[in-house]
């Protein structure tokens, strides 16, 4: 049954379908062989127990459907010359995809040891899901893939990101009906609202409904064709259904549906490129209903298997122990007639090999799956263009992310003729002070716009959608096909897509081990609206957890930067936007903060990752009594204020200030390649002095990084704490675990000797803390002395008499 | 414009709408007052600069819509006596919800200091979004709420979970069009496939389209009524549209739509309860289109605001500095005629107060939002019913989670007449060896079932949907309304909903601080298919990251258990299913593992959290040379095997084995209430001996927990490492950083003195490691000595001669 519309009429009786069916048989045969066999790959002799792998691990259920689609896409490529990238949402159907890559030749080209002969076939089947071999999922080792199908939900968003600014590309994206139940996949259906046929390529979703998950039915699998079509239509797609259990009938109908889809895509793009885009395009989509585990065992031990959930993994189990199962497996394998598919040398017979596309068009060789056909770096103007001119460090405030907005604007301008950069953000580009990009481009939306809209158009390249999943997933697809980008998010809500960050880091880590994979631009995640400055949003908006998530991942791919000001942020941005194969996490608040370093100093600071801020301490190169260390913008300001208090009121105290902007200089080098050698580490933090640390994230994350350093107990870390406050966290309230006064008090406690002025400063700090608590409840804002504090060099050596300045706003103009 | 169908005809001219409109005015007035005012709450005198808060923080845009809906729900309650719980998806419209709660009286009842008089009003406006006051979001402090609207996406799943097994409840769930772009919300629309009108209550979604997010349009907001209706219809809802910009027109139409929806819900439930359920019910839904920031400033500084994105937060800014804005704010406030809404004492005038429902029906007093009307504990049969009879510890293997399945089965059986327990799981109940539950109930699905299905029916109470978001979100809604449950997930993919875990922990932590909130059953998350045993799934399926996420959260609410075997798991389950207000993370693999403790020992072990396993060491109560510590099932087995090797081959070595099942005994007590006092900690781990730790998660997470303990450097932790392996991780390969041989080698290195047998054991370990590496590549499975190893008491004092047993499978039958 089908209602595939349009396209040229097809001859159902054509011999083409026999050939295509045999090609499909070959793919299915190799799939079953990979799951079961370790020897006797072509069944040249009767099947024996020793031929069977000791452990049977793999997923048969989805595999025949994937192979059917792959074979038909080959046909479409041969017929049309289309450039198609294949995304297998049901990526656990790995053996099917590998089978097809092997048949078309791209697999042996990349892995010559898996050649197209008997020995190659033996190695092909042995390697699958065995030690030293390949995993059972599509993933980095799979040629032609940009998608790991383990954690379900991201296939369609990866596909969508891949076609952005790739006008000549079609991504054929198979979505399983299990994956279709996930939230991220459901969100992905709205792609037509964001794909512009004038400049973007096309996604062709093939929703493969086989009706079952591991052991239960799927929602879409049980709904009517009309209902599933209505769902896709509501999202803007124009779907057709291809459905059946008879291959003889499916082949012509699926071919017709694909032909029609290709014709429709071509027409949509042609019209849009001729006349411009008007509204979301009615992109074609295919709903394919075929039995789970099709062509596999119909009934096993009297229980139905084909077309049921029981076909999900290994339909025949215990094959080594159960002779009946062994016999049934042999019948199943022989049903594909391997002797007619492969010649005596173990090569696919010529009439079938001829069905594979020519080398440049083979999906396994698609350059888009390996860094893109023409990956070019981003043009970055000299940072001097955007750098703030910082006079006295800490004297003036500026919205830290604003200059970055200018830099991104120019990237948009300078790539206008060869678009390869996009910014992805839930809906906070302006709120994050990156609004300068709208001088160069708009937000993208294909839906109608209105008079009151600002910077919205079909031609925009800023991608705003209120879904961290979509933002990150689109960006991942964009990066894995060789382009560049940035995902900017509220810090707390970046946890929404934390699992995607984990999976992407795993992908990169694995891909780096494969010599044939080109490096791809890094995944850059900018966290703003941080836990320290969510003035009105409160507890639910405070969460530095993504740092912890990222720190656990492999040091070979993750980087965490906390630039303390604008110029360090610019230098960080320059670095990460030029880097490859990393997950770069950048944490910086968007609001007005003191600025400290001129561009040159910022570059040096970034290059070092952490350095002594001599201007903020009073020790020069000599040993301090106490080290005040900080990481993150708010902690830096508080540390400077504490250092100021200490120097102002206890002038004999030798204070050193160290700022850490690259968090991963802290662990030893065997943990992370950025880890400082012990000598350099101790040059910063001394070998034995106490270090009072003000740190952006959870304190224990910082302690974790210090593990392996000598004497870590001397580091006294104050970080973000889950306070469960019922109050609105104004600056001082948020900081109540680590504010300047607390930091100064901690430093006084840690020095270990008495110095004049200490007691007075202690009293002063305590007084200010009490006073502030009362003040904010009365006046509903911070004390002026907190609100308006800026750094100036402390008047060193002057007698400090804090007691004589009862309101804390004495003649020095700061405190 | 409206197409609200059905329901009784309404008199558009009725005076009812004037009154309702004035009630809405009162709510809007109080909303604006909360955002702007700190004094002069009722504008008894002209507005002055000093009346304005110093910082203006809040969200106006969504508020008038929320208040409109709330007022109309009041009307529906008055008319029908319906029990309605209100979920505000756009929870940042907090001031609107608080305004309505204040007007109906429930707010003052819970917070008497915010009384219904002048002083109460003053406090009401001052507390909003100020230090010591309330956050700007709906959240735990909001009476009648089970939902925090900060991290968007979960409103409809919370609503759906709340009505499960609550046949008399309707949850009116407002979904904003921003939230509607998120993946989790998109997934939630499939609720009709899982709600059974025979036994569940009803969710009434009110999709509130105001067209804008912070600074851009929304996808649904720009789509046609037909398209949005088609989307909801495709998911099984029967939506109507109520749309307009004229309150006079909206009131009757919204009332009509709500009346019709209520009538429809009643009819659906009546039919289902009379005749049984047949297929998904066509539940009503309302699509409400009203202007963003309705009734607010139309134009500010010449720029349109009402109905645009500019109304999102504070439409008039800089009110203290800009006299024109101050004047416009005063006109805006006075447009609601506060003097006609509140009497001279500051009380809502009687004719408006009469519109609030009577006390038992007020949405702010809904018992479902505060532990449920009749929260009852779960009946738990004696654990002896399920406990394994463990003979020699470690001698036999058993699928660890299987007895838990029996326990859950009996919970289903014993709550059949008063259903208050559900299991939520993507689709792995069987795979997780919990399939015994299907002896008591089925998986729930309202869609058609087929012959080959097993345990699927509309009456089932096991909730399987391939969405971690839905599983967890439904469960959260179920728990927050006073029922019990368990979310079982693949360990790696529990990270998909990690941000929900963070938000739920924050909710519980905050709620515990509120004396009026009753404790609710804990969120129990069972992680199986762990990183150590994903035999065929590989790297993408390995991730112990949720432990790290949970460890960062407040010690007052989080618990992490790693039961080493079945009986400890049963005792853990008994504890967590009886507990309240925690997030309990339980990590245990589903596959066959050695079993160690009889039930009584298991109970004692769990009560201690960590204990010395004397039978596994050779020191009795004396000081060991080395402590072998372990946490997690696979690490426990490996540690025992290592301890066995050490005792077998180096009989003079004094070895102690410590098992940790409650991870949070490790940190000091000021970090977590389970933290052991130092004396008890040292009674386990000694004061100064080296400890070789085999641990389930990332090694650094364990180090983090030890921070604050004396001399933490003596702990040598081997945990899961991101290996990026291209191999299929069979047991031994996975364990290659910490397997028995590595652990034994590490122990030998740490003892610090020479003992006879050490060198031979070293050589033996190295030989076995090399041999295993070759063996698995040849035979595609682990060495028999690994595969079949079971614990027996080491033959102490016998001369060990490993060199004489070249295959490692010597006469002792084990190695």
- Predicted local confidence at residue B12, as pLDDT: 57
Asked whether the predicted pLDDT for residue A10 surpasses 50, the reply is yes
C-alpha to C-alpha distance for B447 and B436, rounded to whole angstroms: 23
A678 and A783 Cβ atoms separated by less than 8 Å: no
Dihedral, A774, A778, A779, A783 alpha carbons, nearest 10: -10
Residue B672 phi/psi, 5-degree rounding, is: -145, 140
- Predicted local confidence at residue B537, as pLDDT: 61
Q: What does A725-755 look like in DSSP terms, one character per residue?
A: -SS---HHHHGGGT-HHHHHHHHHHHH-S--
C-alpha to C-alpha distance for B531 and B524, rounded to whole angstroms: 19
Asked whether the predicted pLDDT for residue A438 surpasses 50, the reply is yes
Distance from CA of A700 to the nearest CA of B (A): 6
Q: What is the pLDDT of residues A212-251, one digit of tens each?
A: 999 999 999 999 999 999 999 999 999 999 999 999 999 9
Q: Hey, CA dihedral for A209, A211, A214, A216, is it positive or negative?
A: positive
Ranges A236-240, B226-230, B811-815: which has the least confidence: B811-815
Contact A495 B502 (CB under 8 A): yes
Asked whether the predicted pLDDT for residue B3 surpasses 80, the reply is no
Cβ–Cβ contacts within 10 Å for residue A497, how many?
30
Residue A49 phi/psi, 5-degree rounding, is: -55, -40
Asked whether the predicted pLDDT for residue A798 surpasses 80, the reply is no
Integer angstrom CA distances of residue A34 from A103, A117, A300, A351:
14, 15, 20, 23
- Predicted local confidence at residue A535, as pLDDT: 58
Residue B621, C-beta contacts closer than 8 angstroms, at least 6 positions apart: none
Contact A308 B58 (CB under 8 A): no
More confident residue, B55 or B158: B158
- Predicted local confidence at residue A731, as pLDDT: 45
Q: Which of B692, B765, B689, B685 is nearest to B732 (CA)?
A: B765
Q: Which residues of B fall within a CB distance of 8 Å from A53?
A: 780
Q: Which of A125, A122, A187 is nearest to A160 (CA)?
A: A187
Dihedral, A5, A145, A503, A312 alpha carbons, nearest 10: 60
C-alpha to C-alpha distance for A33 and A42, rounded to whole angstroms: 8
Confidence of residue A801 (pLDDT cuts 50, 70, 90): very low
- Predicted local confidence at residue A814, as pLDDT: 35
Maximum Cα–Cα distance across chain A? 101
SS3 A207: strand
Q: Which residues of B fall within a CB distance of 8 Å from A724?
A: 506, 509-510, 512-513, 554, 556
- Predicted local confidence at residue B278, as pLDDT: 81
Residues B596-617 have a mean pLDDT of: 97
What share of chain B has pLDDT > 90, as a percent?
80
Maximum Cα–Cα distance across chain B? 101
SS3 B76: helix
β-bridge pairing A299-300 and A303-304 = antiparallel
- Predicted local confidence at residue A752, as pLDDT: 87
Asked whether the predicted pLDDT for residue B267 surpasses 50, the reply is yes
pTM: 0.96
What share of chain B has pLDDT > 70, as a percent?
93
Ranges A179-183, A214-218, A593-597, A774-778: which has the least confidence: A774-778
Asked whether the predicted pLDDT for residue B617 surpasses 70, the reply is yes
Interface of A with B in 507-526 (CB under 8 A): 509-510, 512-514
What ipTM was estimated for this complex? 0.95
Residue B352 phi/psi, 5-degree rounding, is: -85, -40
SS3 B369: helix
Asked whether the predicted pLDDT for residue A436 surpasses 50, the reply is yes
Asked whether the predicted pLDDT for residue B664 surpasses 80, the reply is yes
C-alpha to C-alpha distance for B731 and B741, rounded to whole angstroms: 13
Q: What is the pLDDT of residues A288-308, one digit of tens each?
A: 999 999 999 999 999 999 999
Candidates B186, B449, B707; nearest CB to A703 = B707
Contact B724 A218 (CB under 8 A): no
Confidence of residue B573 (pLDDT cuts 50, 70, 90): very high
Candidates A217, A235, A492; nearest CB to B445 = A217
Q: Which of B465, B473, B419 is nearest to B194 (CA)?
A: B465
Strand partners, A692: A628, A716
- Predicted local confidence at residue A785, as pLDDT: 83
- Predicted local confidence at residue A811, as pLDDT: 33
Confidence of residue B213 (pLDDT cuts 50, 70, 90): very high
Contact A447 B223 (CB under 8 A): yes
Angle between helices B63-80 and B94-104 (to 10 degrees): 30
Residue B160 phi/psi, 5-degree rounding, is: -65, -45
Contact B153 A183 (CB under 8 A): yes
What share of chain A has pLDDT > 70, as a percent?
93
Asked whether the predicted pLDDT for residue B5 surpasses 70, the reply is no
Asked whether the predicted pLDDT for residue A736 surpasses 50, the reply is no
Asked whether the predicted pLDDT for residue B738 surpasses 60, the reply is no
Asked whether the predicted pLDDT for residue B736 surpasses 60, the reply is no
Contact B131 A727 (CB under 8 A): yes
- Predicted local confidence at residue B13, as pLDDT: 61
Residues B733-752 have a mean pLDDT of: 79
- Predicted local confidence at residue A720, as pLDDT: 87
More confident residue, B750 or B806: B750
Whether residue A506 lies within 8 A of chain B, CB to CB, comes out as yes
C-alpha to C-alpha distance for A408 and A411, rounded to whole angstroms: 5
Candidates A57, A216, A234; nearest CB to B231 = A234
Ranges A233-237, A553-557, B795-799: which has the least confidence: B795-799
Q: What does B39-76 look like in DSSP terms, one character per residue?
A: S-TT-SS---GGGB-SS-----TTHHHHHHHHHHHHHH
Q: Which residues of A fall within a CB distance of 8 Å from B235?
A: 231
Candidates B234, B443, B779; nearest CB to A216 = B443
Whether residue A454 lies within 8 A of chain B, CB to CB, comes out as yes
Q: What is the pLDDT of residues A454-495, one digit of tens each?
A: 999 999 999 999 999 999 999 999 999 999 999 999 999 999
- Predicted local confidence at residue B536, as pLDDT: 57
C-alpha to C-alpha distance for B739 and A772, rounded to whole angstroms: 55
Residues B169-198 have a mean pLDDT of: 98
Distance from CA of B572 to the nearest CA of A (A): 26
E strand residue ranges, A506-591: 523-528, 558-561, 583-587
Q: What is the pLDDT of residues B43-81, one digit of tens each?
A: 999 999 999 999 898 999 999 999 999 999 999 999 999
B501 and B549 Cβ atoms separated by less than 8 Å: yes
Residue B744, C-beta contacts closer than 8 angstroms, at least 6 positions apart: B642, B645, B646, B761, B765
Q: CA-nearest residue of chain A to B183?
A: A183
Helical residues (DSSP H) of B494-565, grouped into ranges: 498-512, 545-551
Confidence of residue A777 (pLDDT cuts 50, 70, 90): confident
Candidates A148, A308, A451; nearest CB to B452 = A308
C-alpha to C-alpha distance for A252 and B561, rounded to whole angstroms: 56
Q: What is the pLDDT of residues A615-646, one digit of tens each?
A: 999 997 789 999 999 999 999 999 999 999 99
What share of chain A has pLDDT > 90, as a percent?
80
Asked whether the predicted pLDDT for residue B486 surpasses 70, the reply is yes
Asked whether the predicted pLDDT for residue A501 surpasses 50, the reply is yes
Most confident of A766-780, B123-137, B219-233: B219-233
SS3 B188: helix
Distance from CA of B237 to the nearest CA of A (A): 12
B88 and B97 Cβ atoms separated by less than 8 Å: yes
Whether residue A730 lies within 8 A of chain B, CB to CB, comes out as yes
Q: Which of A105, B181, A237 is nearest to A229 (CA)?
A: A237
Average per-residue pLDDT for chain B: 92
Asked whether the predicted pLDDT for residue A723 surpasses 80, the reply is no
DSSP letter at A709 equals: B
E strand residue ranges, B333-483: 397-399, 421-425, 443-444, 456-457, 462-464
β-bridge pairing A443-444 and A456-457 = parallel
Average per-residue pLDDT for chain A: 92
A138 and A106 Cβ atoms separated by less than 8 Å: no
What stretch of H or E contains B299? strand B299-300
What stretch of H or E contains A545? helix A545-551
- Predicted local confidence at residue A12, as pLDDT: 57
Residue of A128, A499, A503, A714 best to disrupt the B interface, most CBs of B under 10 A? A499
Cβ–Cβ contacts within 10 Å for residue A583, how many?
23
Contact B781 A55 (CB under 8 A): yes
Q: What is the pLDDT of residues B79-96, one digit of tens each?
A: 999 999 999 999 899 999
Asked whether the predicted pLDDT for residue A337 surpasses 80, the reply is yes
Q: CA-nearest residue of chain A to B128?
A: A728
CB pairs under 8 A between A and B: 398
Asked whether the predicted pLDDT for residue B605 surpasses 60, the reply is yes
A748 and A762 Cβ atoms separated by less than 8 Å: yes
C-alpha to C-alpha distance for B596 and B567, rounded to whole angstroms: 8
């Amino acid at each position: 049954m089908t209602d595939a519309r349009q396209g040229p009429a097809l001859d159902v009786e054509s011999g083409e379908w026999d050939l295509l069916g045999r090609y499909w048989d070959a793919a299915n045969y190799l799939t079953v062989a990979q799951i079961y066999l370790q020897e006797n790959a072509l069944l040249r002799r009767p099947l024996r127990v020793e031929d069977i792998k000791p452990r049977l691990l793999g997923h048969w259920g989805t595999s025949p459907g994937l192979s059917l689609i792959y074979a038909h896409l080959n046909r479409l490529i041969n017929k049309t010359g289309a450039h198609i990238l294949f995304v297998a949402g049901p990526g656990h159907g790995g053996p099917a995809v590998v089978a097809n890559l092997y048949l078309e030749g791209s697999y042996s080209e990349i892995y010559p040891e898996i050649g197209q002969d008997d020995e190659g076939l033996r190695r092909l089947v042995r390697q699958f899901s065995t030690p030293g071999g390949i995993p059972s999922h599509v993933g980095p080792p799979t040629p032609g893939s940009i998608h790991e199908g383990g954690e379900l939900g991201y296939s369609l968003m990866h596909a969508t990101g891949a076609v952005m600014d790739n006008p000549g590309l079609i991504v054929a994206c198979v979505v399983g009906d299990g994956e279709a139940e996930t939230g991220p996949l459901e969100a992905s259906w709205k792609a037509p609202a964001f794909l512009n046929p004038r400049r973007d390529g096309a996604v062709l979703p093939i929703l493969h409904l086989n009706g079952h998950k591991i052991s239960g039915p799927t929602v879409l699998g049980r709904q009517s064709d009309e209902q599933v079509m209505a769902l896709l239509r509501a999202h803007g797609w124009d779907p057709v259904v291809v459905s059946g259990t008879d291959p003889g009938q499916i082949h012509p109908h699926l071919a017709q549906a694909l032909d029609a889809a290709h014709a429709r895509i071509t027409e949509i793009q042609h019209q849009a490129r001729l006349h411009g885009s008007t509204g979301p395009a009615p992109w074609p989509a295919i709903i394919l209903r075929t039995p789970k585990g099709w062509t596999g065992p119909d009934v096993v031990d009297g229980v139905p298997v084909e077309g049921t959930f029981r076909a999900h993994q290994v339909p025949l189990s215990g094959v080594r122990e159960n002779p009946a199962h062994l016999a049934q497996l042999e019948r199943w394998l022989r049903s594909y007639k391997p002797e007619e598919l492969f010649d005596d040398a173990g090569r696919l017979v010529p009439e079938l090999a001829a069905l594979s596309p020519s080398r440049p068009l083979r999906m396994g060789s698609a350059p888009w799956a390996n860094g893109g056909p023409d990956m070019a770096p981003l043009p970055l103007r000299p940072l001097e263009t955007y750098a703030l001119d910082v006079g006295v460090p800490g004297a003036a405030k500026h919205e830290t992310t604003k200059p970055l907005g200018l830099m991104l604007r120019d990237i948009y301008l300078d790539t206008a003729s060869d678009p390869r950069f996009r910014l992805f953000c839930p809906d906070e580009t302006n709120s994050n002070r990156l609004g300068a990009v709208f001088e160069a481009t708009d937000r993208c939306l294909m839906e109608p716009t209105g008079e009151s809209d600002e910077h919205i158009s079909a031609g925009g390249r800023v991608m705003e959608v209120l879904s961290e999943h979509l933002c990150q997933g689109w960006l991942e697809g964009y990066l894995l096909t060789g382009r560049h980008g940035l995902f900017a998010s509220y810090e707390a809500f970046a946890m929404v897509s934390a699992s995607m960050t984990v999976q992407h880091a795993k992908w990169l880590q694995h891909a780096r081990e494969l010599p044939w994979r080109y490096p791809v631009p890094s995944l850059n995640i900018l966290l703003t609206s941080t836990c320290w400055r969510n003035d009105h949003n409160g507890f639910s908006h405070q969460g530095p957890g993504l740092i912890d998530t990222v720190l656990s991942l492999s040091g070979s791919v993750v980087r965490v930067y906390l630039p303390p000001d604008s110029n360090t942020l610019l230098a960080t941005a320059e670095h990460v936007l030029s880097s490859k194969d990393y997950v770069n996490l950048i944490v910086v608040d968007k609001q007005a903060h003191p600025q400290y370093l001129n561009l040159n100093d910022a570059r040096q600071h970034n290059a070092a990752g952490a350095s002594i801020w001599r201007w903020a301490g009073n020790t020069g190169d000599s040993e301090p009594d106490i080290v005040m260390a900080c990481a993150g913008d708010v902690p830096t300001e508080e540390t400077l204020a504490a250092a100021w208090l200490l120097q102002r009121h206890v002038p004999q105290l030798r204070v050193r200030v160290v700022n850490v902007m690259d968090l991963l200089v802290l662990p030893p080098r065997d943990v992370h390649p950025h880890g400082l050698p012990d000598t350099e580490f101790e040059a910063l933090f001394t070998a034995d002095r106490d270090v009072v640390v003000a740190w952006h994230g959870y304190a224990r994350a910082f302690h974790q990084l210090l593990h392996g350093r000598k004497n870590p107990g001397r580091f006294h870390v104050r970080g973000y704490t889950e306070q469960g406050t019922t109050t609105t966290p104004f600056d001082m309230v948020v900081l109540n675990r680590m504010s300047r006064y607390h930091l100064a008090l901690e430093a006084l406690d840690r020095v270990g000797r008495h110095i004049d002025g200490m007691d007075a400063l202690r009293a002063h700090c305590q007084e200010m803390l009490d006073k502030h608590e009362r003040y904010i409840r009365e006046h509903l804002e911070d004390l002026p002395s907190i609100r308006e504090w800026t750094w100036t060099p402390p008047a060193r050596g002057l007698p400090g008499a804090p007691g004589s300045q009862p309101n804390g706003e004495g003649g020095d103009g700061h405190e």
